[in-house]
Each structure stands twice: as structure tokens, then as C-alpha cells.
Amino acid sequence: MKPIGGPGRPAGSRANRPRQADIARLAGVSQPTVSLILSGGSAAVGIADETRRKVMAAAEQLGYMPDPIAKRLAAGQNNLLGLYTFTATFPTEMSHAYHPFLVGIEQESAAQGYDLLMFIASSVTGERPHAEVLNRVRLADGCLFMGRHLPIREMDRLLATDLPVVYLGRHDDFGDRLPYVGADYVTATAEVVRHLAELGHHRILYVRELDDAISAVDREAGFRRGMAECGLPVDRSTVVRTDGSDLTADRLRGWYEQGVTAIVTEATDTDAAHRAVLTAAATAGYRFPEDLSLATLGAPEHAVPGPAFLSGFSVPRREMGAAAVRLLTGLIAGDPSLARHQLMSCEPMPGQTAGPAR
Amino acid sequence: MKPIGGPGRPAGSRANRPRQADIARLAGVSQPTVSLILSGGSAAVGIADETRRKVMAAAEQLGYMPDPIAKRLAAGQNNLLGLYTFTATFPTEMSHAYHPFLVGIEQESAAQGYDLLMFIASSVTGERPHAEVLNRVRLADGCLFMGRHLPIREMDRLLATDLPVVYLGRHDDFGDRLPYVGADYVTATAEVVRHLAELGHHRILYVRELDDAISAVDREAGFRRGMAECGLPVDRSTVVRTDGSDLTADRLRGWYEQGVTAIVTEATDTDAAHRAVLTAAATAGYRFPEDLSLATLGAPEHAVPGPAFLSGFSVPRREMGAAAVRLLTGLIAGDPSLARHQLMSCEPMPGQTAGPAR
DNA sequence: ACAGGTTTCTAATGCGCATCAGATCTATCG
DNA sequence: CGATAGATCTGATGCGCATTAGAAACCTGT
């Protein structure tokens, strides 16, 4: 702990901020009276109008702001919503993947009267980078979690406390203990496959990333379901896993010559698979949709302004962010009627990279 | 305020977590001893090894985690940096203008051990949307401000308190009272003009936005200085103000026929002027740099990945964010040796939209 | 005029931790 | 051997607020 000033008043920013006691002195009442008036709900019983006026005036005059820390220590709420991303919230190398979520989160937080407290894994992180932050998180009234991979152990510990928590993404491993707002990738992906099939594609490849994030699993499941529903076969070579490095132009050419007419990729926070396909196609001289059709699951919204370029579906990130905030504030308020697991549907995007099979 | 459990233990998330007192009991020592051992730095003086061992063992056994709230209440500091943007921090319609700043802010905050508290102007904003938030802001140990236009009156009030504050952008109206980290637009803009002049351009137009944000003023000043230094005349028609709507293709054509060979625009959070030029040029059929040269001051970094496309200069937004955080934490720590006004230089970007004059 | 009821406020206390001024006990010295 | 100097630890206290029990003043009806 950093050294602070002598006894009496700490040296920090709270140095000479007015406290309830100051208001009390100025208004000629006691501190608890001030507390009652300032935070005791709108219809605080048993306070004379005259007293209330005096206190309010004094508070106004001093520019009083309740100390959220003390408030929380004493009672339990400070109108702060935590936001913790398991990677940097504002990543450098990644595309601005989280931005749309943040837009929704910010708007809805404001609407609900909460401020956002962004927790950041400190740089000095050893083996369990999240352990420390997941503790700090309790500063807020509740916390929103984002990130492709959820640290199971730490989350388990956090869920053992009763801090309200919402995860932005589907995650059923914790059952009802972990409320979430996710996207219905399965349905949306199946829909994309069906659309391609209707365009005459029969040899469709699914190029996905290496890691098994839940969204990736869902998408593959949706792909398989879509293929099945359209009567298209799926064998070992239909689903390709790559981190991008091994997806060469030659390999793509090979697929093309074997009769593949459409490729489905997924957009992630790195977009590795998706970019690899684009690069390989550019190198091989294939154009979309003339030579090959391309559908990108969860097309990144930041790609290009204007009408959607990529075919596929778009994740309603903004709405998801807002819904997550609503769920969280509901949980904080103790609303029992809330659906703790919410899946939002993704809008199909016709786009310009998918067309009739050649 | 939410009702909590009976006296003794609150019903909140702190339900039955072990406290230092529990450890103390188990180890047969006093609570302050536990505090000393657990948080009194590595080489806490005057603690017998035997005692330390016992306490550590007890803490381990109980799975103790310090309560961050109590910790901060006692320490008088909460390791929170406020961040307030005078518009939405995650704007919908604007380009992701603030993102690079946020990257730097996030990284440096983490490095300094602070979390970020994002304040949001509540939606119910009347005439003075910022008044309420600028009050809430005092909840953090210090606060960073962003946004093209700074609400003078509210800022003045805030500066009257001793809350450490840093503004991201140049702003000298408050003199030394308002510390800031800005960008040296004047020098960088003059440099851009010089570059164009060296490419043979003599008729250079400056297309700027309507509003008189300080950055806009600085850029125009830099433009004029650059022109002067190159011996190029500037008259009333050399500087064009627009919100984009009146910048038609015809008007651009007119300039072209009057011998204008280069246009300088500025990138802002809306990019109105810059976009208008691009649109008009596209409509008129002009290409950059073949028909016209274009330089964009503060080229948006998010435009296109890969080698810089736009000529001009880039604002070191990330570094500015980090520098602002360093300045703020320095102020919080009470470091008197800090330069309260910092201007960072912008890197020239050759880009691909400026070439030799036709 | 007095018991019983209201209204309005205050004293006391605790939240979990950190800090500080001693208290206690042991080592060291002249 | 009394005295001084560490070495270790503890009691008391405060951080700013919320909560609760109950004091004080003020009514009401009989």
C-alpha cells in the first residue's frame, strides 16, 4: 500500500472532499441525518422538509459526492458496472472486434444510470493472470465478462461469491450459475449453408480456426446441421482447421480443382482463417463471387463502410452488449424473472462475395 | 439502497469470505499482525519468521483474499483513473476515432496499476449535459478528458477542486491549471505543406471543417505558416470551410480548372471535410495523385490496413494516450517536476495520394 | 393533565483493513 | 545489575458511510 498522509485525512484525491460530516456541520444536523436524506430513497420517512432543504443546500454548496468505496463497504451498491475482457479490451493487433459490443454496453449503461469500470489485467501477471483482477472486480455492483476464452477456474471461484455476473457469449459449462448473452451461431450458420445450397453449391468447404472457442464449436455444428439439412455430405476433408499459415494459394487451387465452389469461414477476433482465405484467393487469382463463393460467419462490421461486402451473417454485437447490461442490472436488482441465458439471432447478410455456383 | 442482512455480516458478495480476523484467530495472533504480514510489503520489518509462517499457513488454509473495497477505503486511494469523453466514448456514427487513444490509455493504466472508470453522460441531459458527470468524476483518483470541445464552465468548476486532471488535446485557455497532452499540429501541418511545395505544388487549397476546435485552429495556423515559409500566397479563397454538404463535384472541378493541384484536408472525428473531398473527387472522376494531390492532416489510422494510403501525417494517438496516463498518475502522486503541457510530434506520412504536381 | 402514539432526529456501531502509538519481552552495554 | 536499545506484537483508532435502537419533542384523546 502506498504511504499516505498523516492521520486524519489521507493524502490522496479524497484529501479535502466534503464528507457527510461536513454537510452535517454546515446544516446543523447529524451525519446519519445527512445519510438518510441523501441516500435514503426518495420517500425517506420522517424527515422534516425544512431539514431536508437545509441538508440539500449544504450538500449542493459543498459540491458533495458520496465516496463510492465507503458506500460500498458500508452498504453494497455504487452504480458501477464492471467490464472485464480476458484479453486487452482495446487490442492493438486485433481488429476492433469489441467495439460494437462496447457501443451497446456504453449506451445501455448510461440509460440504466451506471458508469463503467474497466478492469485491466495488470501487466505483471504470472501463471494466473486473471486471479488478481477477478478479485478487484468486486468493486463494482456486478460485472460483465468478454473474451473468447473464459478462465474456468477463476470464473468458478468468482461464481462462488454472489457477485452478479454476465458473460458475453454462450457458455453452458457452468449451467445456470453463469448467466450469459450469446449469439445463435448454430441457426445462423445453418441458414448460411442453406443459402449457398440454394445458389447451387454442393461442394462447400468450412475453413475454421484452430482453437475450440465455443463460438467456433457452435459454428461448426451449425455448418454440419446446414449441410445435413440440405442433404450434402460432410467428410473429413470438408472441415479445414487452420491458423492461416498453412493455407497457401496452391492448397486453395487444389480445392478449386476438386470441385469446391464455396467456402465458409469464420470471423474471430484475429480473423486469421478468414484473412488467410482472402490472401490465398488473391494470390491464386480467384475472385469472389465469380470463381468462388465466400461466406464469412459473423462478418466483421468494421471491414468496409457502405453496403455489406461480405456474405454471411452479422452478429448483433451492439444489441448483445445492451442486452447483457440489461441482464446484469436486472440481476443486481434481484429480478428473479430474468432469463439467465439469452441467445440472440444473427441477421443473414447477402453480401457480394457469394453468388451462383459456377 | 438495497436492504442487507442483519448486523454482523452483510448479505452481499462478501457473504462468508474469510477476513483477516479469521486468520488471526486461527493463527493465534492479532488482526493487525495479519495485516502487516499479508500486505506490509515483502520485507515487513519486525515480524518473527515463526509468526509469519503461521499466518501464511492460516491464510492459505482459509483461502484468504483481501477485500479490495476495505483496502481502498483504508488506504484513501482507490487506484481508479476516470475517463470522460465529451461525446460518447464509443460513438456509433463516427469512425472509431478514439480507439487508438484508448489502446494507449489502457496499456499504460495497466502498467501503472490503475483501473479505468469510464464516465458516461447520462441520457437524461438537459442544457448542461456534463454538469452531473463532472461531479461524479471525483470518484476516481484523477481523470482524463477527451473530446473535441471542452465544456469551459464545468471544467472551470472541476479545476477549482484539487482532483488531478489531464486533457487529451491542446488547450491553453486555462493556462497552467489544465494539464494536457496534445499533438503538435502546427509544425506537422507546415511540414506537409512544405512537402507538397517540394513536389511542385503552388496552388494548394486547405479544406477544413466548420467548427473551431483547437486542433482545427492549429492546423490552419500550420497551413498558413507552411505556405508562408514556402513563399506561397494565401488569400481568402485558399482556405475553404465546409461541413461537407456544399462541396460538390462541380465546385471541385472549378478549383481544378483554376489551377489548384493539391488539396489539404483534416481528419476529425467525423471526417466530414475529408470525406466530402473524396466523394467529390470520385464523382468528378479525379484520381489521387494523378489528377490532384491530397494530404490529410491526422490521417485516420483505421482507414485501411497495410501501408499508409493517405498522405499527410499521423497523430501518435496511442503514445498520447499513454503519455496522458503517465502525466495523470504523476500528478496524483504529486510529482512537481512534471511538464504539465506536453505536445507530441506527428510523423509525416508520404502515403499514396500525394505526388508531383501535374 | 397524563398515558400512549407520532414524528423527527441522533448516538452508537460496524463494514474489513491499515496505521500508529505503545506494551512486552529479550538482547546488549557500561 | 540497572539501563538502554532493539525486536515483536497488540490495542485503539479511523477511512466514509449505512443502519438501528432509541431519545426527544410534539400530538391526541379522555
| A304 in contact with chain B, both atoms CB, cutoff 8 A | no
Does any domain span residue B303?
Answer: yes
> What are the pLDDT tens digits along chain B (358 aa)?
333 333 444 444 455 678 999 999 999 999 999 999 988 765 556 788 899 999 999 999 988 888 888 888 888 777 889 999 887 656 554 446 788 898 899 989 988 888 899 887 654 455 566 766 776 777 788 999 998 888 888 888 888 877 899 999 999 999 999 999 999 999 999 999 999 999 999 999 999 999 888 999 999 999 999 999 999 999 999 999 999 899 999 999 999 999 999 999 998 877 889 989 999 999 999 999 999 999 999 876 654 455 568 899 999 999 999 999 999 999 988 888 999 999 999 999 988 999 999 8
Domain boundary among B51, B75, B99: B75
| A194 in contact with chain B, both atoms CB, cutoff 8 A | no
Residue numbers of the domain that contains B164: 80-183+317-344
Q: Is the CB of A91 under 7 A from strand D?
A: no
Domain boundary among A66, A99, A126: A66
Q: Do A120 and A142 belong to one domain?
A: yes
Q: Give residue A3's pLDDT.
A: 38
Does any domain span residue A291?
Answer: yes
3-state secondary structure of A256: helix
Q: Do A89 and A126 belong to one domain?
A: yes
Domain count, chain A: 3
Does any domain span residue A5?
Answer: no
Does any domain span residue A321?
Answer: yes
CATH of the domain at A310: 3.40.50.2300
> What are the pLDDT tens digits along chain A (358 aa)?
333 333 344 444 456 788 999 999 999 999 999 999 988 765 556 788 888 999 999 999 988 888 888 888 887 677 889 999 887 655 554 446 788 898 899 989 988 888 899 887 655 555 566 777 777 888 888 999 998 888 888 898 888 877 899 999 999 999 999 999 999 999 999 999 999 999 999 999 999 999 888 999 999 999 999 999 999 999 999 999 999 899 999 999 999 999 999 999 998 877 889 999 999 999 999 999 999 999 999 876 654 455 568 899 999 999 999 999 999 999 988 888 999 999 999 999 988 999 999 8
Does any domain span residue A262?
Answer: yes
Q: Do A175 and A322 belong to one domain?
A: yes
Cα first-last separation, chain A: 68
Cα first-last separation, chain B: 71
Q: Do B195 and B127 belong to one domain?
A: no
Q: Give residue A85's pLDDT.
A: 87
* CB-proximal positions of chain D, under 7 Å: 7-12, 14-20
Q: Do B109 and B62 belong to one domain?
A: no
Amino acid letter, residue A91: P
Radius of gyration of chain B (CA): 27
Q: Do A227 and A312 belong to one domain?
A: yes
Considering only CB atoms, which chain B residues are within 8 Å of A88?
103, 106-107
Count helices and strands in chain A by DSSP H and E runs: 12, 12
Give the number of other Cβ atoms within 10 Å of residue A319's Cβ: 17
Q: Give residue A74's pLDDT.
A: 85
Q: Do A265 and A323 belong to one domain?
A: no
| B232 in contact with chain A, both atoms CB, cutoff 8 A | no
Residue located via cell numbers 468462388? A292
What is the per-residue burial (b if ≥16 Cβ within 10 Å, else e) of A21-31?
ebbbebbebee
Q: Do B108 and B153 belong to one domain?
A: yes
Does any domain span residue A355?
Answer: no
- Interface probe for A, chosen from B20, B39, B67, B73 (most Cβ of A below 10 Å), is B73
Considering only CB atoms, which chain A residues are within 8 Å of B115?
117-120, 136, 139
Task: Please name the nucleotide lying closest to A21, CA to C1'.
Answer: D16
The DSSP code sequence of B183-241 is E-HHHHHHHHHHHHHHTT--SEEEEE-SS--HHHHHHHHHHHHHHHHTT----TTTEEE
Does any domain span residue B354?
Answer: no
Q: Give residue A78's pLDDT.
A: 77
Q: Give residue A126's pLDDT.
A: 54
Give the number of other Cβ atoms within 10 Å of residue A13's Cβ: 24
CB contact under 8 A, A2 and B77: yes
Task: Please name the nucleotide lying closest to A18, CA to C1'.
Answer: D16
Q: Give residue A2's pLDDT.
A: 37
Q: Give residue A253's pLDDT.
A: 96
3-state secondary structure of A313: strand
CATH of the domain at A30: 1.10.260.40
Does any domain span residue A11?
Answer: no
Domain boundary among B75, B94, B116: B75
Q: Ramachandran region of residue B254, left (φ > 0), alpha (ψ -120 to 50) or beta?
A: alpha
Q: Give residue B333's pLDDT.
A: 86
Task: List CB-based contacts (under 7 A) with strand C.
Answer: A 1-4, 6-7, 28-33, 36, 45-48, 50-52, 73-74; B 7-10, 14, 19-21, 31-32, 35-36, 38-40, 64, 66-67, 70-71, 73-75
Q: Do A257 and A284 belong to one domain?
A: yes
Q: Do B262 and B166 belong to one domain?
A: no
Which of A39, A121, A163 minimises the CB distance to B1? A39
Q: Name the H helices within A269-334.
A: 272-284, 317-333
**Rounded CA gap, A348 and A334, in Å?**
35
Helix or strand run (H / E) with residue A312: strand A311-314
Q: Give residue B108's pLDDT.
A: 93
Q: Give residue A157's pLDDT.
A: 83
3-state secondary structure of A52: helix
- What are B290-328's pLDDT values in tens digits? 999 999 998 766 544 555 688 999 999 999 999 999 999
Q: Do B105 and B63 belong to one domain?
A: no
What values do phi and psi take at B82, rounded to 5?
-80, 150
Q: Do B307 and B192 belong to one domain?
A: yes
